[in-house]
Structure 1
Amino acid sequence: MPLSRLSLTPEASHGPLDGAWWPRCDALELELPALVGSLDPGHGTVTRVTVGAATWADSPRTISAPDHVIEVVLTYAADEEHTITLDCGTVGQWELLVIPPEEPVRTAERLLTAAADPWNSLSAQRILARAEDGFGR
């Protein structure tokens, strides 16, 4: 897979999100290695991800990445349906908005920017709801 479509906050986040990820398809086993590979090594090694069961229910429980295996944990919490949490061991966590693969380019670009704003105070669900209301058109 090509490099991941990813936008991270340029500094410490002051909101619920640390950025956004726009996968090309809904096959986590194909997309996750590209996402992990696009992170700066200084962010630590991703050892576990937590994803919404509604979106990623058919995903395997472990996924191979370069030089390690990543545990996949499903969450059934409604407020985490459109997020992915990347656990980087002792370095910390990244909470990212997951933009649906079929989202139009213009809307996805705005979502990537909004979620990566270090002063964004909106949850993943609220950002996506704003996009549905036309903020991306």
Structure 2
Amino acid sequence: MKPSRTPAEAASADDAHTYRMPLPRLTLNQGISHGPLDGAWWPRCDALELELPSLVASLELDRGTAIRVTVDAAQWPDAPQTVMAPGGVITVERTGSAHEARTITLDCDTAEHWVLLVVPPGELADTAARLLAAAGR
């Protein structure tokens, strides 16, 4: 009798060392924004160095695009100044501006710009879903 294998053990050798970033919990406005927000983002944790690469990857920017992110210093007090991501380095700036509280701003050298509402990582799923949906309209 052959021993049974778990799904993880049955994976091919090529898949054994492959890591795929989880898709970000993100909603972007369809078309042109009619308000101060371009959408909303619900990170899984408060570690920007873990969350930003998948957020930036979801924007489908050209490889090597310079990206600057501005975050609320009160919400991200331990934010690093730079974050490594596939295709480049993300520069992180912290601000204490009340105007930017609970938001993240992404600026690219391609003149693309997004302002996203940040739903706190610990928010209840139903509340987070409502905020994501509302910001996407």
Please say whether Structure 1 and Structure 2 have the same fold, judged by a TM-score greater than 0.5. Answer: yes
Which string of whole-angstrom CA distances, capped at 9 and with x for unpartnered residues, describes residues 6-53 of structure 1? 0000101010000000000000000000111111337x9451000000
2:8: which partner in 1?
none
1:13: which partner in 2?
33
Which string of whole-angstrom CA distances, capped at 9 and with x for unpartnered residues, describes residues 35-77 of structure 1? 11111337x9451000000011111100011110010000101
Identity of aligned pairs, percent? Answer: 62
2:61 is matched with which residue: 41, 58, 61?
41
1:74: which partner in 2?
94
The alpha carbon displacement at 1:95 in A equals: 0.2
Q: What CA distance in whole angstroms lies between the structure 2 residues aligned with 1:91 and 1:76?
A: 24
Aligned length: 116
With the length of structure 2 as denominator, give the TM-score of the two structures. Answer: 0.79
SS in 2 for 1:54: coil
SS in 1 for 2:32: coil
Amino acid at match of 2:82: T
Go from structure 1 to structure 2 and tell me whether the alpha carbon gap of 1:46 and 1:4 turns closer, same or farther (over 3 Å shift). Answer: farther
Which runs of no fewer than 5 residues in structure 2 stay unpaired? 1-20
2:103 is matched with which residue: 59, 83, 104?
83
Corresponding position: 1:64 with 2:90: no
1:55: which partner in 2?
75
Q: What CA distance in whole angstroms lies between the structure 2 residues aligned with 1:45 and 1:97?
A: 23
Q: Stretches of 4+ moved more than 6 A in 1?
A: none
Which runs of no fewer than 5 residues in structure 1 stay unpaired? 118-137
Asked which structure has the greater CA Rg, the reply is 2
Q: What CA distance in whole angstroms lies between the structure 1 residues aligned with 2:74 and 2:101?
A: 7
